[in-house]
Structure 1
C-alpha cells in the first residue's frame, strides 16, 4: 500500500530513525530535555539518558530515583561505573535492573556489600559481558600485606555460579550460559581452584586482565580446568609464572588457556623461581595458537630470551623503542618468516634505534603492518635502505622536513594522483618533483603497490588502489 503524500512527515525529526541517530551525538542533559517533548521522543532518547550510571558522579541523583521510575527505565541501564558502597548497590535493587552489560565494582570489607553485589551480578548474569572487580592496593603494597586482609579475597562462588537463576514460576533453564566476555581483576586474592571454577562457568570469556592477583592454595591433587576459550590475556610474567607465593612449583597459568592468541605482558621482572641461565620453553605446548605479544618496557634481557627461546612463529609484536637494541632485534629476526606486524612505541630517537628498524625492514619480507610513529626518519636514509617488505598494507611513520598538515596533504595528493593515473614507474619518476621532500617521500611510498593505509603525522589516510599492482 502506498502512502499518500500528506502522510509523509514534514519534519525529519518526526522520524524515529533520525531521532535515534541524533541522540548518539547529544550529551545526557540535552537528551533529557528531548525526552520531555513528547511520548515518542521520550521513547527514542531515554536509552541514551539511562545507558550509563557513574556512581562517582551520579550517586546522589540516582539515590533519589523512585521505584516507579526504575519500573519504567531500569531495563535501559547498560553500564554501571564505580560501584563502591552498599548504598550504591541498594539503589540498584530492582527486578527491572537486569540488563546491565558492563560493571566496574570495588571490593570493600563489608559483608552486606558482598551479598548485594552477588545478587546484582546473578540478576544480570544473562546480560553482563564486561566486568571489572578491584580492591584497593594494600599499604604497604606487598603480596604479604595483600593476603592479610579479607577485603582482597574474591569469593568466586558468591559471584559466579554454574547454575542458572530461577525465574519466578519457572524451573532452571537447561540451556543457560553465562555470557561474560571480558573480566579484569585488580589486587584480589583467589584460590587456584576458584580460578578454575570461574573459567569453567564463563565459557564465553574471551579477554582476561590480571593486575596483582594472588592465586593461593594450589594442591597437586586438584584437577585444573584447561578448556577455557580465552584468547586475550593481560598479565605480568610474575603473575603468570610465580602465581602462588606459597608453592613455587604451582603450574603456569597459561595451561588454562589453550586457545590464547595474544598476551600483553604488563610487567617484565624475572619470576623468582626461574633459573638464571634459561627460561621455560613450553609456550607452544600450552598455547599452540599464540601469535601476538605486547611487551612492557622493563628488562630487555628477558624480552630477548622470550623471543629467541620461548615464542614460536610470532606474527605480531609491539615493543618500546627503549628496548630496541641489537639483542631484541635479533630476537625479532628469529621470527622473520612469520612476522607480519611490528609496532614500535615511545619516543627514543637515536642512531641505534634507527639502525635496528632498518635492519628489520631489510630482512622481514612478510611485514604487512609497520608502525614507527615515535621515530622521525631522514628521507635520505629511507631512500638508501633496502625494504624487503614490499607487501606493506599499512605504514605509520614521520619524516624529517614533512611537518605541517599542508605538506602532508600535498605529499598524499601526489601519491593518490600517480596511483590513479596508472603510469609506469619511469613516468612517475619524471612527473614528481624529485628535488623536494614531498616528491621524494611520494616516490618512496609509491614503491609499495599493496599499501592501503598511511599515517605521516596527522591522521590515517586511505589510498586508492594502484593500477599497476
Structure 2
C-alpha cells in the first residue's frame, strides 16, 4: 500500500529539520505561538523556548510550579543573572541538570552558597562557562578583597564545578578560607577572575600548592578583572604555570587595570604567545606598544575599548596595525582615527579580515554606506583622491581578505575580492 505524501510537501515547514532551523531565528513570543500549531511543531519549538532563562527579566520563573520544571527543566541550557536566594532555590529542581552556562551575581548571602554549589555540581558534566561577578572593591587590591571575602568565594565557586569527587590537594589561603580541597580538571573554557583570585598570597605558612589554573586545562579565554599582583607574585613561575597548565589559553581581556605600567609588565614578562588581546585605551603607552609588538608573531586580534582624544595616546594606537603584521581583527569602535595619521603609519596587516573603527570627517551614515559600496564594487581599481571618503575606501582596498567592517554605524559584510 502506497502512502499519500502530498500533504507533507505543501510547505518547507512541514519538515522537522526546517522547523529546527527556523526556531533559531524567532524570539520567544513567536516560538510560543508555534507551539500551538501541532504536536510535531510543539516538539521542535519547545527546546528553544526554554533554552535561555534570564532571571533579571524572566521574573515569573521563580513562581513556576514544580510539575512545569519536571516537563521542561531538561531543556534549559543557560541561566543568566542569578541574583537572589529565591533564584538559587528554584534552580535546585533535579530536572535542571543540563546547564552549559551559569551567570551568578555576587549579592547572595554567603551562608546560602551550599545550595548554589549543589546546582553547579549537578551540572558539572555539561557546564562549560561559569561567570561569577560583582562590583569590584575600591581600592582594588588584595587587602580589600580579603575583607570582602570575594576572591575566596569565587575560587570556591569555580572549584565546585569540577566533576571529580575525590580531592587531590589543599592549600591554606589567607585568613578567611583556611583550607581548600582541589579536585580534578573541568571543561571550563572561559574564566572571569582577577589575577589574585588564582594566585593568592599565603600569609599563614610557607606551604606551596599549585595555582587554581591547574584545574582548567581547557581554558581558552580569560577575562581579567584586575591585574593587581599580590606580594607572592613570581613572574617566572606565572609564565611557566600559564604555558604548562593552560596550553589553549590564547585570549586575554583586561577590564579594571590600575597603574598603566602594570598591564605592560604582565604582557612582557608573564604571557606567552597571545593571539587575542583587549584592554582600555587609557593603558596605551610607549611601553604598552612595545609589549604588543613583542607578540607580533602570534597576535591576530586586537581590541581597544573606551574613548580617547589625547594625541599622546593616539599616536601609539596608530602604531599597532603598522607594526603587528599578522593582525586579522582590529577593533577600536569608540576611537576616531585621522586618515592623515593612518596614511603616515602605513598598515602592514595584509591579512586583516575584520575592522571596527571610526574615521574623522566620515560620520554621516549615508556617506559611510556609499563608501563601502564603492569598496564592494571597486576593490581592485581605486585611485587616490583628496576627500576623506575616497581616502578611506582606498585604504580599505588594500586588504583583500577584509570581510567585516564597521565605521561607526552598522556592520557591513564585504564580498570576497575578485581574483
TM-score in terms of structure 2 length: 0.75
In structure 1, which of residues 256, 267, 272 is the aligned counterpart of residue 226 of structure 2? 267
User: Is 2:384 the counterpart of 1:446?
Assistant: no
Task: Kindly provide the CA deviation profile for residues 63-121 of structure 1, in whole angstroms up to 9, marking residues without a partner as x.
Answer: 35253x4443343333445556676566566554443444445753557x73x556544
Task: Report which stretch shifted further, 456-465 or 130-139.
Answer: 130-139
Structure 2 partner of 1:108: 109
Whole-angstrom CA distance in 1 between matches of 2:155 and 2:340: 59
- Equivalent residue for 2:235? 280
Q: 1:374 to 1:121 in 2, by over 3 A?
A: closer
Task: Determine whether 1:323 maps to 2:283.
Answer: yes
Match of 1:305 in 2: 265
* 1:371 paired residue number: 331
For residue 349 of structure 2, the aligned residue among 389, 407, 412 is: 389
Distance 1:451 1:394 in 2: 6
Pairing of 1:106-185 with structure 2 (within 5 A): 108=109, 110=111, 114=114, 116-117=115-116, 120-132=119-131, 142-147=144-149, 154=156, 162-163=164-165
Aligned residue runs from structure 1 range 165-314, under 5 A: 193-194=180-181, 196-197=182-183, 200=184, 202-210=185-193, 235-236=194-195, 238-246=196-204, 253=211, 256=214, 262-273=221-232, 280-288=235-243, 289=247, 291-296=250-255, 297-314=257-274
Partner of 1:50 in structure 2? 50
SS of the aligned residue for 1:8 comes to helix
Deviations 1:282-327 (A, max 9, x none): 4442233454433344211222323333334444332322121222
Shift, 1:13, TM fit: 5.3
Alpha carbons of structure 1 residues 85 and 320: separation in structure 2 relative to 1, 3 Å: closer
- Tell me, yes or no, if structure 1 residue 76 matches structure 2 residue 75: yes
Q: Aligned runs of 1:425-436 on 2, under 5 Å? A: 428-429=382-383, 434-436=385-387
SS at match of 1:317: strand
> RMSD of the TM alignment (CA)?
4.3
Q: Which runs of 5+ in 1 are unaligned?
A: 165-188, 211-234
Paired residues of 2:282 and 2:308 also in contact (CA < 8 A): yes
Counterpart-to-counterpart distance in 2, 1:155 and 1:457: 39
**Cα displacement string for residues 20-45 of structure 1 (whole angstroms, at most 9, x for unaligned residues):** 45544555455445434543343333
Output the CA distance in 2 between the equivalents of 1:442 and 1:139: 45
Unmatched tracts of structure 2, length 5 or more: 167-175
